Amino acid sequence: MRNIFAVFYETQSMNILSIGYNRHINKNSMIHAEVDAINKLFYVKKKKYISMLIIRFNKNNDLLISLPCQLCISYMCKLKHNNYILSNIYYSINNNNIEKIKFYNINLIEKHYSCNYYKNH
């Protein structure tokens, strides 16, 4: 089920640069929406300042927490090699709200979460 979307956009213009979604690549492994979206951000010569929106929802279209997992966060760190500077991450939380966090702060709270919350959804 495609129930997580990750969108990268240019912070100032809000032009969308890539959209990723979670999906199974085989029976046992899943590509996370964030990784899918990052894979579509190719090298640019000039630095781009980007933001990210991650939305996760259930069958009733209620938003659920979508804070990225440790693996995705470490994958996001690679963005700078392609000249993308990630500043803000907006992510859904329960009760149909959106939260914002600075990318450089995310490791502080990430410890409370893991990939487990992606399972069974």
Name which of 33 and 50 has its Cβ closer to Zn ion: 33
Q: Which of 72, 76, 79, 86 binds Zn ion (CB under 5 A)?
A: 72
Cα distance between residue 28 and residue 109, in whole Å? 28
Q: Does 69 bind Zn ion (CB under 5 A)?
A: yes
Q: Does 76 bind Zn ion (CB under 5 A)?
A: no
Determine the distance from the C-alpha atom of residue 6 to the mean position of all C-alpha atoms in its chain, rounded to a whole number: 5
Q: Pick the piece of the chain touching Zn ion (CB under 5 A) from 29-37, 41-49, 55-63, 102-110.
A: 29-37
Q: Does 32 bind Zn ion (CB under 5 A)?
A: yes
Q: How many residues bind Zn ion (CB under 5 A)?
A: 3
Instruction: Give the shortest CB-45-to-Zn ion separation in angstroms.
Output: 29
Cα distance between residue 75 and residue 69, in whole Å? 10
User: 84-115 burial string, b = 16+ CB within 10 Å, else e?
Assistant: bebeebebbeeeeeeeebebeebeeebeeeee
Q: Pick the piece of the chain touching Zn ion (CB under 5 A) from 5-13, 31-39, 40-48, 59-67.
A: 31-39
Whether the CB-CB separation of 12 and 49 falls below 8 Å is answered with yes
Give the residues lining the site for Zn ion (CB under 5 A). Answer: 32, 69, 72
